[in-house]
Structure 1
Amino acid sequence: MSDVTARVADSTGNWVDTRAPVWSRPYLRLARYDRPIGSWLLLMPCWWSAAIAAGVAHDIRQLPLVIVLFFIGAFVMRGAGCTWNDITDRDLDGMVERTRSRPIPAGQVTVPQALAFLVAQALVGLMVLLQFNRFAILTGIASLLIVAIYPFMKRITWWPQVVLGLAFSWGAPMGFAVTLGRIDPAAVILYAGSIAWVIGYDTIYAHQDAEDDALIGVKSTARLFGARTHRALVILYGLAVVLIGVAMALAGVRWAGWIGLAAFAVHLVWQIRRLDTSDPALCLRIFKSNRDAGLLLFAGLLVDAVLRAIM
């Protein structure tokens, strides 16, 4: 199989396809380094939480290091999660047009090779986690159960996006655990708000596969909401903004953070107005734009943390 035909269907022209050593490309695709948007989305609640917690502490001396470690950890552990997902979903992926070109169903990587790669990524993630305090280490380890069960949820519930939200939002308590050595009420509410955000954006993502999912019996909120998706997004995104706002208020966030939240909210409104669920390419573009939404909020929270530390 040539490397051109080995490319994943919805990912072409990226650095993995054009610059990475040929032998490494199937593994990089397995970890989704050809499509890093998921890593960015996993990272956003980590950075939000770290910035809010630094503001609570009025101390940003450790924040740059925490930001870097969260960045490495998010990319490595998202890669490990995707590898696990592809191992468990290898038969289903072979039946879906968009996913049948993934490395395992396409025969580029065997299951034992994928398992070895999974272990290697997990060890790197553990090395990152060990840089934190004991409470944060235990908090991070606690997320593994959710990550392990997520791939099976679409077989048994219409709400697999909720479980994804539980996993992808785990950074919300992690920032507090790392910086303060505890999980404040603000972190719990931030976690809930992030879960609502994840359910919303992953519903948009799932609309790409709604027809194939219906044929093979895979459940999702995209299929559940159907023509009511816009209404559901108004509720989910609205809940996300309100809950994140409550968390910010509890943490004493000031004006810069609220500007970030306002920009985040405006971006979510734009997504809902722009969305056409019958257009898979547009669904993918809008889904990916959530990185920008998350960065807008983080920018505001980061400025707030800096101002609280120096004033």
Structure 2
Amino acid sequence: MSKRHSSRIGETSDSRSKQTSQSSGEKREPSPMPRSSELPADIPTSAGFLSLLPSSWIAYAELMRLDRPAGFYAFYIPYLLGLGYGACLTDSVPSPTHLLSLCGLFLVYSIILRGAACTWNDTVDQEFDRQVARTRLRPIARGAVSTTQANLFTVALVLTEIPVFIRLPAACAYHAIPINILFGGYALMKRITHYPQLVLGFPFAWAILMSCAALDVDPISHHRIVPTMSLFMANILWTMIYDTVYAHQDIRDDIKAGVKSMAIRFASNTKELAATLATVQVALLFCTGWQAGLSPIYFVFTCGGTAVALAYMIAEVDLKEPSSCAWFFHRGFWYVGGSTMMGFAAEYVARLCKSEMVDDGFSLNLLWTKARPA
């Protein structure tokens, strides 16, 4: 892994101490994970967003991961992809103002949804979290929030989603039901299967269907089901790639704790797996553009850009280095997600410009007809 990757990701004190001991040539036996009663309930908060909140709110903000924006992109970007895709399918091109208003609504929804999903995940995984160095100081694991309080907070967040759907078409609310159920079920999957990343991909990809519904587009009609499902599956594969790489940070602790994941199942050949999934992902994106009749702009930016970004990141990541795995997770949403969105955005702008040119031409022809003498 190159030095520039290490500098981009802030290392934890545990990783620093580990590196110090390695550099000094000392071999230390790993210290046993503390029991919940040994974990401090109040952890000093570093300067930043959380330091501005009342002390009683901090643990709940941590549950929602408000201090960790990288994971938020995993929730929000699929909604942007769905809006971009839907805007390329509509008979009448939606206005930029309308699209921006939907982006704002889904921004709020993604924050709430992520908070509920992460709180529920931490509640279910609290015993696992206490055995993993990276997660042992999460609010529930360390005792800052009780299980009952966490459950009530989860319910409150889910109910907070309702005002968002009042501003959206009714069909969006129907999509929210399976999304919430799937996120709830995902938290249990790491106990029974090595493929929880596959399960996680479904609620993320379902955002594409909800975004299309927000534009009054039926994404699974007979002539749209192939491109839509291709994009849906491409998003699932991308989730499997980045979450498997991310899980390599905790692979040793996860094995001891009994957690199952694709990182453990494919530990020795994760890069080969990622390369295979990435190839299929790009092929599915190509299928989406081909079946939806999109222009070369889409293929250059989305298919070409995504292929380059995936190849670069898979080649560069060092799975044995936690900071490199974190780099892959953080930057992947900008490189891969950004490339995928760019094609839809460029396609939308091209359609919008063409639509405005047609409208302007019609208006000028009408004015000329009325103005010329009989």
TM-score range relative to shorter protein:
over 0.9
2:305 pairs with 1:305? no
Look up the match of 1:90.
126
2:97 pairs with 1:54? no
Look up the match of 1:15.
49
Which residue identity does 1:233 align to in structure 2? A
Matched residues in 2 for 1:13 and 1:59: separation? 45
Q: Is the 8 A contact 1:42 1:169 kept in 2?
A: no
Spell out, residue by residue over 1:119-163, the C-alpha distance to the aligned partner (whole angstroms, 9 max, x if none): 222122222123222222212222222111111100000101001
Q: What TM-score, normalized to structure 2?
A: 0.77
2:302 pairs with 1:269? no
Look up the match of 1:146.
182
Matched residues in 2 for 1:251 and 1:67: separation? 23
- Shift in alpha-carbon separation, 1:251–1:65, aligned structure 2, 3 A: farther
Task: Measure how far apart 1:13 and its partner are.
Answer: 5.5
Q: 1:222 aligns with which of 255, 259, 263?
A: 263
Spell out, residue by residue over 1:93-122, the C-alpha distance to the aligned partner (whole angstroms, 9 max, x if none): 111111110000111111222122212221
Taking the TM superposition and a 5 Å limit, the aligned residue runs for 1:90-169 are 90-169=126-205
Over alpha carbons, which structure has the higher Rg? 2
Which residue identity does 1:226 align to in structure 2? A
- Shift in alpha-carbon separation, 1:252–1:208, aligned structure 2, 3 A: same
Matched residues in 2 for 1:191 and 1:130: separation? 26
Paired residue secondary structure (1:180): coil
Spell out, residue by residue over 1:217-258, the C-alpha distance to the aligned partner (whole angstroms, 9 max, x if none): 111000111120110000111111211221122223223322
2:104 pairs with 1:68? yes
Look up the match of 1:250.
291
2:228 pairs with 1:194? no
Which residue identity does 2:318 align to in structure 1? D
> Does 56-65 or 224-233 show the bigger shift?
56-65
Matched residues in 1 for 2:229 and 2:269: separation? 29
Matched residues in 1 for 2:290 and 2:110: separation? 27
Look up the match of 2:75.
42
Q: Is the 8 A contact 1:158 1:219 kept in 2?
A: yes
Matched residues in 2 for 1:253 and 1:36: separation? 32
Q: Is the 8 A contact 2:89 2:217 kept in 1?
A: no
Structure 1 residue ranges without an equivalent (≥5): none
- Shift in alpha-carbon separation, 1:14–1:224, aligned structure 2, 3 A: farther
Look up the match of 1:26.
59
Q: Is the 8 A contact 2:112 2:161 kept in 1?
A: yes
Q: Is the 8 A contact 2:63 2:118 kept in 1?
A: yes
Matched residues in 2 for 1:130 and 1:187: separation? 26
Task: Measure how far apart 1:278 and its partner are.
Answer: 0.7
Pairs aligned (count): 305
Q: Is the 8 A contact 1:259 1:300 kept in 2?
A: yes
Q: Is the 8 A contact 1:241 1:265 kept in 2?
A: yes
Q: 1:170 aligns with which of 206, 214, 220?
A: 206
Q: Is the 8 A contact 2:186 2:200 kept in 1?
A: yes
- Shift in alpha-carbon separation, 1:131–1:37, aligned structure 2, 3 A: same
Matched residues in 2 for 1:286 and 1:65: separation? 31
Spell out, residue by residue over 1:181-206, the C-alpha distance to the aligned partner (whole angstroms, 9 max, x if none): 42231222211110000000000110
Q: Is the 8 A contact 2:178 2:203 kept in 1?
A: no
Paired residue secondary structure (1:115): helix
> Does 249-258 or 61-70 show the bigger shift?
249-258
Structure 2 residue ranges without an equivalent (≥5): 1-39, 355-374
Which residue identity does 1:267 align to in structure 2? A
Task: Measure how far apart 1:288 and its partner are.
Answer: 1.0
Q: 1:212 aligns with which of 246, 250, 253?
A: 253
- Shift in alpha-carbon separation, 1:13–1:204, aligned structure 2, 3 A: farther
Q: What TM-score, normalized to structure 1?
A: 0.92
Task: Measure how far apart 1:6 and its partner are.
Answer: 4.7
2:297 pairs with 1:285? no
Paired residue secondary structure (1:109): coil
Matched residues in 2 for 1:2 and 1:147: separation? 27
Matched residues in 2 for 1:239 and 1:22: separation? 47
Which residue identity does 1:245 align to in structure 2? F
Q: Is the 8 A contact 1:200 1:236 kept in 2?
A: yes
Matched residues in 1 for 2:208 and 2:297: separation? 19
